């Protein structure tokens, strides 16, 4: 994309100057949770429905294991969003926004 500025956040997600960004790459998200750990707000927008929840624990035998708790939610605007909490990094990300 000609003329598109690359931000510091893009570099932190694994993209480098001149390299294309991965399709559906996770993006950092601001998530507030209920006492149960389910998302209540995603990027300052109210979650109206938690449609599905699942957990992925994989590659535990490697130096880069995966431990994620995923939620498919519907936001107040009607958008469907998939968010997950990375257990190893203790932070939230969105996909399919």
Q: For residue range 33-85, list pLDDT tens digits in order.
A: 999 999 999 999 999 999 999 999 999 999 999 999 999 999 999 999 999 99
- Phi-psi map region of 71: left, alpha, beta (phi>0 left; psi -120 to 50 alpha): beta
Q: How far apart are the two ends of the chain, measured CA to CA in Å?
A: 20
Output the pTM of the full model.
0.73
Q: Is the confidence at residue 5, as pLDDT, over 70?
A: no
């Amino acid at each position: 994309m000609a003329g598109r500025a690359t931000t510091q956040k893009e570099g932190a997600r694994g993209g480098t100057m001149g390299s294309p960004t991965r399709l559906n790459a996770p993006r950092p998200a601001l998530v507030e949770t209920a006492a149960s750990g389910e998302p209540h707000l995603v990027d300052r927008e109210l979650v109206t429905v938690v449609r599905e929840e699942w957990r992925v624990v994989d590659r535990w035998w490697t130096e880069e294991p995966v431990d994620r708790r995923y939620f498919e939610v519907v936001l107040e605007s009607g958008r469907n969003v998939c968010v997950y909490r990375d257990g190893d990094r203790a932070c939230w990300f969105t996909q399919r926004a």
